[in-house]
């Protein structure tokens, strides 16, 4: 029976064989690697991945699709909302390899998924995700650009990222109304040991009114914390490099 894409799950199934091959080549899976696929859907990526890996863990919320996937002898199926999955439980052997995470993420919850995975970054070797191109543009954006924002800062602190492939709407069934792309995310080796909650709050305040100078937003937040350190608030949030936000979060934590 043909599976009908469910709008509430944000389902758009990849059907373009050339794009599928290009994505798998970019991921470059090797036999024995520990890989998790989020939202395998109709297994367009799943099958070529598992052929190279030998075994693959998949996370699927749609129970009808999960039932189909369980019939595949080389898949470990986790039927769950990915936002509820504890990734520390996926690969529990004492000498376990780091996880490689891949997926065609539902556009309606892609950002929450990225932040959910951030807490497991020490367990992860790399991530390859298909996302709305606009989201990836924000992820990799440089300071002083319109796309640069909270997502840019929070992810660039912890990952080196590249936009590796553009995927047009006609590569899907049904076609989404936006362009898609594939991003590669590699955890940085020695990131600053910053308090994630503090950095998140700081950056959220900074970008809450991005057209105003920071003295109207972040400046007041710093005053409320009695922060006496140096930080130039005569800038707009988008003008501040990632390293400056990190340095400020570390200084606030010490104050």
- Residues of each annotated binding site for S-adenosyl-L-methionine: 12, 14, 39, 60, 81, 104
**Cα within 13 Å of Cα(253), Cβ side:** 17
- Is the peptide bond prior to 174 cis by the omega test (within 30 degrees of 0)? yes
**Cα within 13 Å of Cα(106), Cβ side:** 22
Closest CA to 113 of 90, 85, 148: 85
Write out the binding residues: 12, 14, 39, 60, 81, 104
- Rounded to a whole number of angstroms, the CA Rg of the chain reads 20
* Residue 9: other Cβ atoms inside 10 A: 17
Residues 220-254 as b/e (b if ≥16 CB within 10 A, e otherwise) read ebbeeeebeeebebebbbbebebeebbbbbbebee
């Amino acid at each position: 029976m043909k599976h009908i894409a469910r709008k509430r799950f944000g389902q758009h199934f990849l059907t373009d064989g050339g794009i599928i091959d290009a994505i798998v080549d970019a991921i470059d899976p090797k036999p024995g690697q520990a890989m998790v696929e989020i939202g395998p859907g109709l297994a367009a990526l799943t099958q070529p991945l598992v052929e190279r890996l030998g075994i693959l863990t998949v996370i699927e919320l749609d129970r009808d699709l999960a039932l189909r996937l369980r019939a595949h002898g080389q898949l470990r199926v986790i039927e769950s909302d990915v936002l509820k999955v504890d990734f520390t439980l996926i690969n529990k052997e004492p000498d376990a390899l780091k996880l490689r995470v891949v997926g065609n993420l539902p556009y309606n919850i892609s950002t929450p998924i990225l932040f959910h995975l951030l807490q497991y970054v020490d367990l992860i070797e790399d991530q390859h995700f298909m996302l709305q191109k606009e989201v990836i543009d924000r992820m990799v954006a440089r300071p002083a650009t319109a796309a640069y924002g909270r997502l840019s800062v929070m992810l660039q602190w912890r990952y080196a990222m590249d936009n590796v492939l553009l995927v047009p709407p006609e590569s899907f069934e049904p076609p989404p109304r936006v362009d898609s792309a594939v991003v590669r995310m590699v955890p940085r080796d020695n990131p600053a040991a910053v308090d994630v909650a503090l950095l998140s709050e700081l950056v959220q305040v900074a970008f809450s009114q991005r057209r105003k100078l920071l003295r109207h937003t972040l400046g007041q937040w710093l005053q409320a914390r009695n922060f006496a350190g140096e930080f130039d608030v005569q800038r707009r949030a988008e003008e501040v490099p990632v390293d400056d936000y990190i340095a400020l979060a570390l200084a606030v934590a010490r104050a």
